[in-house]
Amino acid sequence: MNVVGKDLIKKILAELQGIDIDNSAAERIATTATSINKTFKPLSAQSFFDTEPAQFNRELDELAKESGLENDR
C-alpha cells in the first residue's frame, strides 16, 4: 500500500489549485488519504457488480440458484 505523505499533498494542491497549506493541514489530509487507501485496498482485486455488467449477471444467477428461481435473460 502506498502511504500518502504531507509533501505529496502540498505539491498536488500547489500544482492543481495554486494554494499553499501549512504542514499540519497537509498531514491531516495525508493521514485521511492513507486511511482511505488502506480501507479500499482489499476491494481492488474484485470488480464491483454495479460497474461490471457481467459481474451483476453472475450475482443474479447465484441468487436465483440459492432461492430456486430461474433467471430469465
pLDDT digits (tens, 9 = 90+) for 45-69: 666 655 667 777 777 788 888 777 6
Task: Say if residues 71 and 60 touch (Cβ distance below 8 Å).
Answer: yes
Cα of 61 vs its chain's centroid, Å: 26
40-54 residues labelled b (16+ CB within 10 A) or e (exposed): eeeeeeeeeeeeeee
pLDDT digits (tens, 9 = 90+) for 10-46: 999 999 999 999 999 999 999 999 998 888 787 766 6
Query: Is residue 1 very low, low, confident or very high in pLDDT (cuts 50, 70, 90)?
Result: very low
Half-sphere exposure of 16 toward its Cβ, with a 13 Å CA cutoff? 6
Q: Which three cell numbers mark 69?
A: 428461481
